[in-house]
Amino acid sequence: MIRLVSVFFIVTVLGLFGCQSASKKETSSAEDISFSEFQKVLSPRSRLFPQSGGADSLLLIALPGDAYAKLYSLNHATREYSLKYDAGQNIRGLYRDRADKNYYFSKDNNGDENYEIYLFHPTTEKAEKVFGHEKRQATIMDSSADGTRLYISSNYKNKKSYQIYELLLGTGKVTQLTHGKYNFVDGVADPKGRYLALTQLLGGNESHLYLLDLRTKNLRKLFGKKGTKYFPSFFHPTSNELYLNTDAEMDRMACAKVELKEPKKLKMVLVNETKDLQCYFYANNSVSLVVSTYDGRIDVNLYHDVLARPIEIPFPKRAMISQVAFVPKSKVGIARVMSSDSPGDFYQFDLSLGEKSELVRITQLNQSKISNESFAKSYDFYYDSYDKMQIHGIVFAKKEWVESKEKRPVILWPHGGPDHHVSHIFHPFFQYWVQKGYVVFAPNFRGSTGYGKHFETLNDRDWGGGHIKDLIYGKNAVGQLSYVDANNIFIVGASFGGYSTLSAITQYPTEFKGAVAMVALANLFTFMKSIPPDPAWQGEFKSEVGDPVRDKKMFKERSPYFYADRIKVPLKIYQAENDVRTVKAEMDNFVEQLQKHKIPVEYEVLEKEGHAIARTENWEKILQGTVEFLNKQTR
């Protein structure tokens, strides 16, 4: 389901990249590629945080053999990893304060999402809890410019309300800065120490912007409009201006600014009618970054100072640049350069040299015997749905399959969210399934992000409606490709994608050859009862799904639970034991319904796991288990 709180910023630029991260290797046949071998294709769980001097970086990553992501130090010269901290379970995110001095991470109890904040000491390689309370959430919002104060969003005093707290490091003193019924989940701090710009989240399509004066404690609302998003990005380092990302009065996100002396006058800075734009600023490096999202792709542009002169770095054309970071107080940057058919690597570059800068590779992410040439490429695929609306999807397939026209089975992947989309990036789980012989088709159905505000809202109060038809029309359209076996198309999805999977096979029982649903929901009534009580979650899903009382008829029509007897295809379900978004009890009830109607189902519960699957053993169960289950249906 949607993630309402962001811990760190990751950008991804999509396209095709000709350079490879490793030399060509002998590649085993698909049947010989084991999960343990595939795990050697490394997938960092955070961006790199370069240390002073730029010789090494901290990052979260699961190396081959690791049961979960751990904190490692990467030596740029040798490309070797040194373990710095093992939390005994998965760590969520990594954050460095504005002074580039202190490092923090969050940890919950094996997926229950009640996150606590820890301060990590690189010199002693130890961590201490600095904020957190049982059965409550806490997320770092920002820090003061000198790093002595941490600003945190938490619901620890009232489960239904997220407020902003100031943590004074050294003394551990905590001060509550906001009060009332607000739901502040994110924001940015003024480097001068005067203001906090805060996001009040009311749902996936609406957020209001507030300004808190840290001296007077005065809180005032700057902007708020129904169906409009306002997200503060940064304060100008010298002038009295706040920059923000917003879709005010337009269908796309844009970069805007407001003069704090006249806070009601919003001035657009960067606008594009066909792309979502977001701007960011790294004060310690005097670098701006603009991210453009459109049609499953993202572009990134760098600028000197605050959106001043462009910085041209010699990345390969149509390269995928992700996880951008900078060496503290320098002009040295680091970014992951990859493609949809290669995990790529991290490269170091000199901002001051611009287009003359050399790209220096500092990692080798593909440590497997799988050559980059054997990974799937991504292909745009457009089709008309039931109402003639054009839907964009992405097909992942090996180049030789496309050229040889040898027919292959297909996994149709409805993404989660639903406020999300599939992009032209390197998707490890897609690549694993391709290595096992499956084409993957991921349609960005109505309700997906990246195609404008109007398109994103088309599935509001229509869950299980139009977007399911988009999937069926997409399935029939992709079945016409010369290299697709139209008689062996499966549907596999997780979270909202799992709901879409169950909806598709109950509404259209004979369309697919089989189905796999992961951390899914099946009953809209019980789902709405299980979501967190805070206004952001409640507002989001009442606008997305509807009201259980007023929309009772629609809820029943769109809940697979009530139509379990219609399922006619082989079905496998994976459920996380500690999932708080799509809870185990709900899926237990659905499986009981299936058994009541004597509908065959394979049901597997993933232990010590939450909604966002984190443990390596569970990823193996899901990825390999899905292949084994589908293979039985293709014989």
- pLDDT tens, position by position, 291-325: 999 999 888 899 999 999 999 999 988 777 888 99
The whole-angstrom separation of Cα 532 and Cα 592 is 25
Residue 31 pLDDT level (bands cut at 50, 70, 90): low
- pLDDT tens readout for residues 177-210: 999 888 898 999 999 999 999 999 888 889 999 9
Residue 26 pLDDT level (bands cut at 50, 70, 90): very low
The whole-angstrom separation of Cα 543 and Cα 204 is 9
Three-class secondary structure of residue 32 per DSSP: helix
Out of 121-130, 198-207, 350-359, 569-578, least confident range: 198-207
Three-class secondary structure of residue 130 per DSSP: strand
Out of 11-25, 57-71, 287-301, 403-417, least confident range: 11-25
Q: What's the helix, strand, coil split of the chain in %, to 5?
A: 20, 35, 45
Out of 20-34, 35-49, 175-189, 304-318, least confident range: 20-34
Q: What average pLDDT does the segment 232-259 reach?
A: 97
Rounded alpha-carbon distances, angstroms, from residue 360 to 345, 406, 461: 10, 40, 49
pLDDT at 4: 26
Residue 3 pLDDT level (bands cut at 50, 70, 90): very low
Out of 86-95, 218-227, 474-483, 528-537, least confident range: 528-537
Q: Of all residues in the chain, what percent carry a pLDDT higher than 70?
A: 95
- The angle, 0 to 180 degrees and rounded to 10, between the axes of the packed helices 466-478 and 496-507 is 80
- pLDDT tens readout for residues 112-133: 899 999 999 999 999 999 999 9
The token duo for 109 is: 């109890």
- Whether the CB-CB separation of 190 and 212 falls below 8 Å is answered with no
The token duo for 298 is: 């993202």
pLDDT at 213 over 80: yes
CA dihedral 477, 483, 489, 491 (to 10 degrees): -80
- pLDDT tens readout for residues 266-299: 999 999 999 999 999 999 999 999 999 999 988 8
The whole-angstrom separation of Cα 40 and Cα 326 is 26
The whole-angstrom separation of Cα 576 and Cα 388 is 38
pLDDT at 33: 87
The whole-angstrom separation of Cα 512 and Cα 339 is 30
pLDDT at 200: 94
Q: How many other C-beta atoms are found inside a 10 Å radius of the C-beta of residue 549? A: 7
The whole-angstrom separation of Cα 81 and Cα 58 is 9
The whole-angstrom separation of Cα 413 and Cα 410 is 9
pLDDT at 19 over 60: no
Among candidates 591, 517, 605, 531, which has minimal Cα distance to 561?
591
The helix/strand count (H/E) of the chain reads as 11, 36
- Phi, psi torsion values for 79, nearest 5 degrees: 65, 30
Three-class secondary structure of residue 50 per DSSP: strand
- pLDDT tens readout for residues 428-466: 999 999 999 999 999 999 999 999 999 999 999 999 999
Strand blocks (E) in 159-314: 163-168, 173-176, 184-189, 195-203, 206-213, 219-223, 230-235, 241-246, 254-259, 266-270, 276-282, 287-294, 297-304, 310-311
Cβ-count burial 372-409 (b if 16+ within 10 Å, e if not): bebbbbbbebebebeeebebbbbbbbbeebbeeeebbb
